[in-house]
Structure 1
Amino acid sequence: MDSTLRLFSKAITWQVLGFVTMTIVGFLFTGSFAAASGIALVGAASGFVAYFLHEMAWSKVRWGRADHIERHANKR
């Protein structure tokens, strides 16, 4: 299971990449870095929360993990 700090760090780095990408895309559509940055900031904030909650939920699912598969196989 990933630690909360690891999940948080992954979420931050993902959102930085997303922010830069969305700023570029927003600028291409609007021609304004101010508008593009605003769009990207809202997207990054909502995406960060969604990603973090998604990762927290999946960290509780044992299905498909190597350690879970090995324990299950040893019971046979």
Structure 2
Amino acid sequence: METRARTLVKALVWNAIGLITMGLVGLILTGSAAVGGAMAVVNTAVGLTMYVIYERVWTRIDWGRWHG
């Protein structure tokens, strides 16, 4: 089982990578750092929230775990 702290750190690192990537994609597609940055921040906030919820739900599911 994972601790909440580990789940949160994993989520933060993953979302930092996503923030940078989405910011660059937004900049390239819109030509605007402000619009690209706003898209990246919204995407990261939603993604971080959903990832933490997703990980915490899966920690409660025993299916596919090896207990031995």
Match of 1:40 in 2: 40
Query: Unaligned 5+ residue runs, structure 2?
Result: none
Structure 1 position 11 matched with structure 2 position 11: yes
Q: Which amino acid aligns with 2:63?
A: W
In the superposition, the TM-score normalised over structure 1's length comes to 0.86
Identity %: 35
Match of 1:73 in 2: none
CA deviation after TM superposition for structure 1 residue 65, in Å? 1.2
Superposed structure 1 runs of 4+ greater than 2 Å apart = none
CA RMSD between the two structures: 0.7
Q: How many residues align?
A: 68
Aligned pairs for 1:1-76 (under 5 A) are 1-67=1-67, 70=68
Query: Unaligned 5+ residue runs, structure 1?
Result: 71-76
C-alpha distance in 1 between matches for 2:24 and 2:66: 39
Q: Which amino acid aligns with 2:23?
A: T
C-alpha distance in 1 between matches for 2:19 and 2:9: 15
In the superposition, the TM-score normalised over structure 2's length comes to 0.96
